Amino acid sequence: MTLTGWTLPQSPTGRAATVPPPPWHYSGDIIAVDFSADPARVAELAPEGFTPRGDGSCTFFFCDWCSAAERDPRVKDDPGKGQYKEAYVTVNGTFDGRPFGRVPYIWVDSELSLLRGQIQGFPKKLGEIYMTRAIEIGKGGARKTAGGRFAAHVSSLGRRLATAAVTLREAVTGAMPAGALPQIHTRLWPSLEHDQPAVHELSLVKVADVEIGTVWRGDAALELGASEFEEVDLLAPRSVGPGWVYTMAFSVVGGTTMPLRGAR
Amino acid sequence: MTLTGWTLPQSPTGRAATVPPPPWHYSGDIIAVDFSADPARVAELAPEGFTPRGDGSCTFFFCDWCSAAERDPRVKDDPGKGQYKEAYVTVNGTFDGRPFGRVPYIWVDSELSLLRGQIQGFPKKLGEIYMTRAIEIGKGGARKTAGGRFAAHVSSLGRRLATAAVTLREAVTGAMPAGALPQIHTRLWPSLEHDQPAVHELSLVKVADVEIGTVWRGDAALELGASEFEEVDLLAPRSVGPGWVYTMAFSVVGGTTMPLRGAR
Amino acid sequence: MTLTGWTLPQSPTGRAATVPPPPWHYSGDIIAVDFSADPARVAELAPEGFTPRGDGSCTFFFCDWCSAAERDPRVKDDPGKGQYKEAYVTVNGTFDGRPFGRVPYIWVDSELSLLRGQIQGFPKKLGEIYMTRAIEIGKGGARKTAGGRFAAHVSSLGRRLATAAVTLREAVTGAMPAGALPQIHTRLWPSLEHDQPAVHELSLVKVADVEIGTVWRGDAALELGASEFEEVDLLAPRSVGPGWVYTMAFSVVGGTTMPLRGAR
Amino acid sequence: MTLTGWTLPQSPTGRAATVPPPPWHYSGDIIAVDFSADPARVAELAPEGFTPRGDGSCTFFFCDWCSAAERDPRVKDDPGKGQYKEAYVTVNGTFDGRPFGRVPYIWVDSELSLLRGQIQGFPKKLGEIYMTRAIEIGKGGARKTAGGRFAAHVSSLGRRLATAAVTLREAVTGAMPAGALPQIHTRLWPSLEHDQPAVHELSLVKVADVEIGTVWRGDAALELGASEFEEVDLLAPRSVGPGWVYTMAFSVVGGTTMPLRGAR
């Protein structure tokens, strides 16, 4: 009669739980597009303590992840469990004076990622995501060479939320998207009884073992679209580029939380 | 810079949040099958304070819901948002001496339902669910008349978890599935920093305005299947029936919580 | 070594074939919206022999079908096989002087329907379709009463192709959507060797046992959207309404074909 | 009033058609497992003229394709259109005395691939397919090194049809799966009026520009599962291995057809 599991559903063995505890490991392919939005719209999305850069700096990321869990080999062993795609936007600025990104909106195509992300404070919703993946032989797709075109899009409930493309120009060293920053999240879990949430706090994820593969930079296009259930289109790009295509790996080994700031 | 929304993602208007607050309204079609499992397996799924009936009594439910949110007309207005299917099993018993059901495992095919359910304490995961819906004219499907056959199944990651069928025998009054009971749930939200969860408590949902349409009873079949990520097959049926097909409506108007019991 | 089956894949028993032969039976729920498009755009979609009405008359249909196959009980018995949704537009006119509809574009969410339809000459593609289904008790959805609002939408690759809503005004007798007509289709199956298709002919489906349930008429809204892979938006509505909500059943018992007309 | 398009739907521009004509280009990642089945079961799946090897030799392939169409840049440009996964089994033998494979069963997760394949004679159905994709940095997945484990599975209507895994042992040259052979297909398109199909013929696809990347060989596991709608489980493995992980590219530039043989 001892039910166990890091998340629901708990069971006698814990094997049915949706999310195993960290450490979690990630290896993925990234398509990213820097853009600038209306600074007033960006400012509206900043929690107390986070200061946007002021120039409307944002980055839209598409990621195709392979993920693993240190304590649950099933996540890595079953591609239907550990592999998923995600699409998100960052607004870029500072938190307590240091460069930070904030993710106001993010979509994933996996139950594991949805809940694992919300636990960290990512405001994940489900979406349908497609990304060009690089080929190495033949003519069926795009290659990671100058002129290679990498496209991506995300939709939800049949509404196209973002459509991006990056045409590679050159491999670069020491350069990354503007939004390649640590992130400040908000964890939020409602109460069933009270108006005040049961959990409402800022969170920082502890990341380790970051590796970056070859980074390609290029010309980019980005369109954001409207939905009855989304507000990402308020960040409509005023200028777009550059775009980025690269691989990345890291581990999440835990996190820290702190109270929300201001009179919330 | 005030971010609002009952759940993530919070935004200036709150329009992007996945789940609006209760009251929530539900109207749905139900296919249910009573069965008995190994009482020892049932007992393992009981939280402290919940006493299974002792005879292995369980019920498997498939539900095709239309849902609405009192404070967000978009849920009712867009069938892609408010309508969804779910499949769950109850183990049937008592809590503090009164008849109660416990839902150890449940799958839904909607993001809204997944999170709205977890907030209440339903251990929802995503699944692919199909259910026979009743027809009234023609020969394309099954009718709610004696002999009508209603089938349902649920799967996850390509593993069939439950396959059920009910062949209608008669409309009945005053009879319902064994698992048509109030339910005692566990709310669980992990901490990002500590071994102890941020939220871990028992919960009771406040239900109002229950309506039951015509209830059909009949002969039933039920098979439970195995998956690397599930344990529902441990409740393999020892005997099956009767089965039930009916419509139901109710509202969730809030909930109450209480501490977990025992040395957890 | 005798392989059998009405379609691929053929096997020793024929059990693996995707589509069993007719007769096929259908029972469904319909949401339809009459509208008028640019008559020049409508005329472009007419095959030789089909004369559009001239006023741009079109109808957009959303259907939630239960289907069965006379010679294969599995279609009716498994809701995952026989049940599906479809969305299509008709342009309304005459063929050889008699009232006929033509379906230039149609989307379905089922493999069975995709192929079964193409065999008849429906130009079916896959799409994601949502439709309000009527409730009879409670407050979770819309009822078939004056004021009940029935919405529907279809999308493909994350592009919203059509969004419709009908607000019921009254039950009517003897009235139906403008596009409730027999249909003239084109069957087309490419050759693997030659420029000329292996099959290219006009087709008429033999329909029997048509039943129409209560027909509700009401006010309607309809928007058509663009996609890189679709042209339905060229039929952008110039005027919209009325809308219709009703149930319908029929059987397909075969078909006849005739040569394409004109210098094709 | 000239409707154009290689497949349905035809339109004034041809832009809405599901499948553009060949040449088609493919670049992909393959996970394959050789196995032997009951030779009697294999023999049942051979069309007249095809002679199985006699030892029950079969190969199960999982492929993650990027595809392009020479005359329609949209296929390559939109990853939601051109990229897809497929799973298929070959029975291995000879046709007219030369080594050939036959594909009795195949599943894909894309409308384009479903129809493009059926036109060639592949008996494609829809399925849900997951495959481990190789990583190059980090710990989120499997690498193409000795010991790397590549898993794959395919399901349809919630029934797991095949589950495979290959643990890499060594990169090899000059070796390939037993089923890496040209294939003899059957094109079949039913008539709407007659018992005899409108199209029923053998077909050979003309392949050009084949490229094979590094080929890894290893130990393999394979399980086939049952479904009400499938017969692949009749090929239950009697022995399994080796397994293969490699990349491959080729173009389809057309095809030839010939009459079915024997008294069909």
In this predicted structure, what is the pLDDT of residue B140? Answer: 98
In this predicted structure, what is the pLDDT of residue A2? Answer: 87
Chain D residues with beta carbon closer than 8 angstroms to that of A109: none
Q: Compute how many other C-beta atoms are within 10 angstroms of the C-beta atom of residue A198.
A: 18
What is the share, in percent, of chain C residues with pLDDT greater than 70?
99
Chain D residues with beta carbon closer than 8 angstroms to that of C45: 3, 11-12
CA distances from B34 to B122, B142, B215, B246 (A): 20, 21, 14, 14
CA distance between the termini of chain B:
40
Please report the residues numbered 226 through 255 in chain D whose beta carbons come closer than 8 angstroms to any beta carbon of chain C.
228-232, 254-255
**Of C246, C188, C189, C190, residue with least CA distance to C215:** C246
Mutate to test the interface with C, among B64, B74, B113, B139 (most CBs of C within 10 A): B139
Model confidence pLDDT, tens digit, residues A200-240: 999 999 999 999 999 999 999 999 999 999 999 999 999 99
Q: Give the Cα separation of B146 and B149 in Å (integer).
A: 9
Averaged pLDDT score across all residues of chain D: 97
Model confidence pLDDT, tens digit, residues D155-184: 999 999 999 999 999 999 999 999 999 999
- Report the residue of chain D nearest A166, measured CA to CA: D77
Is the pLDDT at D129 greater than 60? The verdict is yes
The counts of H helices and E strands in chain B are 4, 12
Model confidence pLDDT, tens digit, residues C178-210: 999 999 999 999 999 999 999 999 999 999 999
**Of B158, C128, D140, B115, residue with least CA distance to A63:** D140
Say whether B209 and C65 touch across the interface (CB within 8 A). no
Compute the average pLDDT of residues D112-139. 98
Say whether A249 and D65 touch across the interface (CB within 8 A). no
Say whether A159 and C157 touch across the interface (CB within 8 A). no
Q: Is B254 left (phi over 0), alpha (psi -120 to 50) or beta?
A: left
Say whether B68 and C25 touch across the interface (CB within 8 A). no
Could you tell me the pLDDT band of residue B174, with boundaries at 50, 70 and 90? very high
Compute the average pLDDT of residues C131-154. 98
- Report the residue of chain A nearest C156, measured CA to CA: A158
Instruction: State the smallest CA–CA distance between residue A83 and chain D in angstroms.
Output: 8
Contact with chain C for residue D49, Cβ under 8 A: no
Task: Report the C-alpha dihedral over residues D63, D64, D66, D67, rounded to 10 degrees.
Answer: 40
Say whether D153 and A82 touch across the interface (CB within 8 A). no
B224 neighbors B232 (Cβ within 8 angstroms): yes
Say whether D249 and A133 touch across the interface (CB within 8 A). no
What one-character DSSP code corresponds to residue B40? H
Contact with chain D for residue A211, Cβ under 8 A: yes
Contact with chain B for residue D164, Cβ under 8 A: no
Instruction: State the smallest CA–CA distance between residue C46 and chain B in angstroms.
Output: 31
In this predicted structure, what is the pLDDT of residue D264? Answer: 46
Say whether B153 and D158 touch across the interface (CB within 8 A). yes
- Report the residue of chain A nearest C128, measured CA to CA: A158
- Report the residue of chain B nearest A232, measured CA to CA: B16
Is the pLDDT at A1 greater than 80? The verdict is no
Chain B residues with beta carbon closer than 8 angstroms to that of A193: 254-257
Say whether B128 and D153 touch across the interface (CB within 8 A). no
Q: Give the Cα separation of B225 and D41 in Å (integer).
A: 27
Contact with chain B for residue D155, Cβ under 8 A: yes
Contact with chain B for residue C133, Cβ under 8 A: yes
Contact with chain C for residue B213, Cβ under 8 A: yes
Contact with chain A for residue C130, Cβ under 8 A: yes
Contact with chain A for residue C153, Cβ under 8 A: yes
Q: Give the Cα separation of C222 and C163 in Å (integer).
A: 6
Chain B residues with beta carbon closer than 8 angstroms to that of C65: 140
Neighbours of chain B (3+ CB pairs under 8 A): A, C, D
In this predicted structure, what is the pLDDT of residue D263? Answer: 52
Averaged pLDDT score across all residues of chain C: 97
Model confidence pLDDT, tens digit, residues D47-97: 999 999 999 999 999 999 999 999 999 999 999 999 999 999 999 999 999
In this predicted structure, what is the pLDDT of residue A263? Answer: 52
ipTM of the complex: 0.96
Say whether C155 and A154 touch across the interface (CB within 8 A). no
Compute the average pLDDT of residues C87-95. 98
Q: Which three-class secondary structure state does DSSP give residue D12?
A: coil
Task: Report the C-alpha dihedral over residues B86, B92, B93, B95, rounded to 10 degrees.
Answer: 0
Q: Give the Cα separation of D10 and C260 in Å (integer).
A: 13
What one-character DSSP code corresponds to residue C192? S
> Residue C194: CB partners within 8 Å, gap ≥ 6?
none
Contact with chain A for residue B124, Cβ under 8 A: yes
Contact with chain B for residue D225, Cβ under 8 A: no
Is the pLDDT at B263 greater than 90? The verdict is no
Say whether C140 and B25 touch across the interface (CB within 8 A). yes
Compute the average pLDDT of residues C222-243. 98
In this predicted structure, what is the pLDDT of residue B100? Answer: 98
Indicate the residue of B78, B249, B251 with minimum beta-carbon distance to C151: B78
A237 neighbors A36 (Cβ within 8 angstroms): yes
Task: Report the C-alpha dihedral over residues B98, B29, B36, D228, rounded to 10 degrees.
Answer: -160
Contact with chain D for residue B109, Cβ under 8 A: no
Q: Which three-class secondary structure state does DSSP give residue B87?
A: strand
> Residue A97: CB partners within 8 Å, gap ≥ 6?
none
Chain A residues with beta carbon closer than 8 angstroms to that of C160: 158-160
Is the pLDDT at B262 greater than 90? The verdict is no
Averaged pLDDT score across all residues of chain B: 97
Q: Give the Cα separation of A198 and B115 in Å (integer).
A: 15
Would you list the DSSP string of A91-153? EEEEETTEEEEEEEEEEES-HHHHHHHHHHT--EEE-EEEE----SSSSSS--SSTT-EEEEE
Could you tell me the pLDDT band of residue D2, with boundaries at 50, 70 and 90? confident
- Report the residue of chain C nearest D116, measured CA to CA: C190
| Long-range CB pairs of C108-114, under 8 A, 24+ apart, other chains included | C108/C84, C109/C84, C109/C85, C110/C83, C110/C84, C110/C85, C111/C18, C111/D114, C111/D125, C111/D126, C112/C18, C112/C19, C112/C67, C112/C75, C112/C81, C112/C82, C112/C84, C113/C65, C113/C67, C113/C84, C113/C86, C114/D111, C114/D114
Say whether D158 and B160 touch across the interface (CB within 8 A). yes
Compute the average pLDDT of residues B64-84. 98
Indicate the residue of B13, B228, B255 with minimum beta-carbon distance to A78: B228
In this predicted structure, what is the pLDDT of residue B1? Answer: 57
Could you tell me the pLDDT band of residue C264, with boundaries at 50, 70 and 90? very low
Model confidence pLDDT, tens digit, residues C1-45: 589 999 999 999 999 999 999 999 999 999 999 999 999 999 999
Compute the average pLDDT of residues D230-259. 98
Reported as type and span, the H/E element at residue A224 is strand A199-224
Say whether D151 and A27 touch across the interface (CB within 8 A). no
Say whether B138 and C249 touch across the interface (CB within 8 A). yes
> How much helix, strand and coil, in percent to the nearest 5, is found in chain D?
10, 55, 35
Instruction: State the smallest CA–CA distance between residue B97 and chain D in angstroms.
Output: 39
And the tokens for A75? Answer: 């996540």
Is the pLDDT at A264 greater than 50? The verdict is no
Indicate the residue of C79, C80, C249 with minimum beta-carbon distance to B137: C249
Side-chain half-sphere of C24: how many Cα atoms within 13 Å?
23
What is the share, in percent, of chain B residues with pLDDT greater than 70?
99
Model confidence pLDDT, tens digit, residues A25-81: 999 999 999 999 999 999 999 999 999 999 999 999 999 999 999 999 999 999 999
User: What sign for the dihedral angle of Cα B81, B84, B89, B90?
Assistant: positive
Give phi and psi for A16, each to the nearest 5. Answer: -90, -15
Instruction: State the smallest CA–CA distance between residue B204 and chain C in angstroms.
Output: 21
Say whether B1 and A187 touch across the interface (CB within 8 A). no
In this predicted structure, what is the pLDDT of residue D69? Answer: 98
Q: Give the Cα separation of B252 and B117 in Å (integer).
A: 11
Could you tell me the pLDDT band of residue D262, with boundaries at 50, 70 and 90? confident
Is the pLDDT at B36 greater than 90? The verdict is yes
Give phi and psi for B116, each to the nearest 5. Answer: -60, -35
Is the pLDDT at B264 greater than 60? The verdict is no
